[in-house]
Chain A
């Protein structure tokens, strides 16, 4: 049974609270100080490692090597562009076309001119060939055109109707387009 007066009881409780709280605060403070102290070695270790890593990174980022790397990229890029540029299949060669045309020229047809004009490539080159000449008769022109139509090198042959206006010594013109397939 507590016989102390009420005022002293209250005073004692307050003092107990103060002491208890002071104990807690002291424990907390000391815990934080110990924790901080224990973190210190880790901090120094990390700082040392970080310094080493920075040195390593600096040595890896050698500016001379970087410049060389750019040069290498440029060389390869240029080579790729050159290959892309050279890759499209060339147009039908003029000499091949001329040979195929002269091989199929029947008697009675004389060629007086041949022009060759390859078109700029989209994916592949193609060529247009224009012929002018003189034929002894309409039949000779028809035979020549028919012979050229059997040649798979040409996809189309344009024969102007005016070629057939005269019946002898006809000055004719033909346009042949290369078959791209």
Chain B
């Protein structure tokens, strides 16, 4: 009688080897994937640490430059300080001894996201020296103020008149 046991045994072992090989490959890939994912997370952590470091440095910069930034902001009319600004101009006119009258006041949306433009048309009347003093005060006002158009004329009567177009900038709310 023919002995088939070695043959069966071989096939069983070959099947077992195939299953073991497949399982090993699957497990190896699983370990590799987990390892790769860990290395990505490690990279993310390093990146995040650098980001946090940069954010910390920027935050320090923001804190260190607070005074300077306030100074820069002060060159703009505050978001709700239009009235204060107008009253400031009127006080300059009083100081210079000129009659100052606002003809129109408007706010124009600027293209950028931090400021709007205040456009103020006014007329002033007084002596030459008073008007020039007033202009000097305007030019040296603690705002970024542009005398966009000024027409000084001497009418028939005594004194001078000035038509003034002032542009200044207001921080957005």
Q: Which residues of A contact B (CB under 8 A)?
A: 15, 18-19, 21-22, 25-26, 28-29, 32-33, 35-36, 39, 42-43, 46-47, 49-50, 53-54, 56-57, 60-61, 65, 68-69, 72-73, 75-76, 78-79, 81-83, 85-86, 93-95, 98-99, 111-118
Contact = CB atoms under 8 A, between A and B. Distances in A.
A93 B138 CA distance: 10
Contacts of A32: 17, 20-21, 23-24
A46 B35 contact: yes
A13 to B, nearest CB: 12
Contact of A53 (B45, B61, B115, B154): B45
Contacts of B37: 50
Interface string B37-50: 11001101100110
A40 B41 CA distance: 21
A113 B152 contact: yes
Interface residues of B, number: 59
B85 interface: no
A36 B27 contact: yes
Contact of A57 (B48, B132, B148, B154): B48
Given A42-B31, A118-B147, A19 B41 contact: no
Given A50-B38, A68-B59, A94 B139 contact: yes
Contacts of B141: none
B42 A60 contact: no
B107 interface: no
A13 B32 CA distance: 43
A38 B42 CA distance: 25
6 contacts: A18-B9, A25-B14, A32-B24, A47-B34, A50-B41, A113-B153
B52 A53 contact: no
Contacts of B16: 25, 29
B124 to A, nearest CB: 13
Rank and list the top 4 A-B pairs by shortest CB-CB distance, nearest first. Answer: A25-B13, A18-B6, A32-B20, A69-B55
Contacts of A117: 148-150
A85 B139 contact: no
A39 B20 contact: no
Given A32-B20, A68-B59, A81 B114 contact: yes
A35 B45 contact: no
Contact of B72 (A15, A73, A79, A112): A79
A121 to B, nearest CB: 10
A57 B44 contact: yes
B109 interface: no
B69 interface: yes
Contacts of A33: 20
Interface centre among B30, B147, B153 (most CB of A within 10 A): B147
B6 A60 contact: no
Given A47-B34, A81-B112, A94-B139, A72 B55 contact: yes
